[in-house]
Amino acid sequence: VQALGGAQLTPASLALVLPEFPVEKRTVAIGIWGAVGGLAAAVGPSAGGVLVDWLNWRALFFINVPFCIFTLIVGGKILHESKDLNAKKNVDLIGTALGFPGVALVTLAITQSSDWGWGDNRTLGALIIGFILLALFVQRCNTVVDPLLDLSLLKMPFVVAANLSGLFFSIGFLGMWLLNTQWLQAVWNYSPAMSGLAIAPGPIAAAIAAAPMGRLAVQWGHARVLLLGALCLSFGTAMFSYTISTTPNYVSGLLPWMILTGFGVGCSMS
């Protein structure tokens, strides 16, 4: 249910942002919009650790409720509706019925493989059925007039490059935050709140870098800013592996690379 809500929020929020800015400022606006999403993903472990220690694990889910209520009230007053009155395309419900469970089954198999085992019939069954559904989804997108996913976009090199870079960025970014949080608690014996505060400099660096790097991208070029962000993120994560020891060494082993990777995230998301 949360995933369905998130799937609606992301494209709808961008559609609300774009009409509010002139064309020459939209790149900066998109950069800030994307950076806020990355910042939120990074702040989650920090704020979550504090909530677990101060209240309990249920607070991690309950905290969404007041944010949603606030958004509904304030958003209804200050946001302007964005829609295309001339739109004639319809949502391909058959494609949705194929793609959604296909992704869900492959994800289920990967997630449960540590418990079930890769050779288990449940894992293999979920993978096989999931890939069959995804293959049918691709075939559907190739034949229907209004496909759910326009595969012709993949013929554009910059679209392929952007999605591949986004994929590998997300793997490194999300893996880094998750593993750092687990390391602080399981190896350094930090409390959830302490581990959350320990990684907070990363999100702070990302927030500080996002807006100016988005503006710089307009002048300097998006590829160069993305390259800078990728290099900072890659070098920072490599240094985590090289400098962090089983004995707590926060100032030398974690803090500087947390700031560097945070700066890289701010550049890359913009």
Q: Average pLDDT, stretch 108-131?
A: 94
Q: Which of 20-34, 106-120, 125-139 has the least mean pLDDT?
A: 20-34
Torsion, Cα 132 94 14 34, to 10 degrees, reads -10
Helical residues (DSSP H) of 144-221, grouped into ranges: 157-186, 192-198, 201-220
CA–CA distance, 104 with 109 (Å, rounded to integer)? 9
Q: Which is nearest to 203 in space by CA: 38, 51, 60? A: 38
pLDDT class of 12 with cuts at 50, 70, 90: confident
pLDDT class of 166 with cuts at 50, 70, 90: confident
Q: Count of CB atoms within 10 A of residue 62's CB?
A: 11
Mean pLDDT estimate for the chain: 86
What local confidence, expressed as pLDDT, does residue 76 receive?
Answer: 87
CA–CA distance, 107 with 63 (Å, rounded to integer)? 26
Please state the pTM of the whole predicted model.
0.71
pLDDT surpasses 70 at 38: no
- The amino acid at 2: Q
Find out whether 41 and 174 touch, Cβ atoms under 8 Å. Answer: yes
pLDDT surpasses 70 at 148: yes
CA–CA distance, 51 with 29 (Å, rounded to integer)? 31
CA–CA distance, 111 with 243 (Å, rounded to integer)? 30
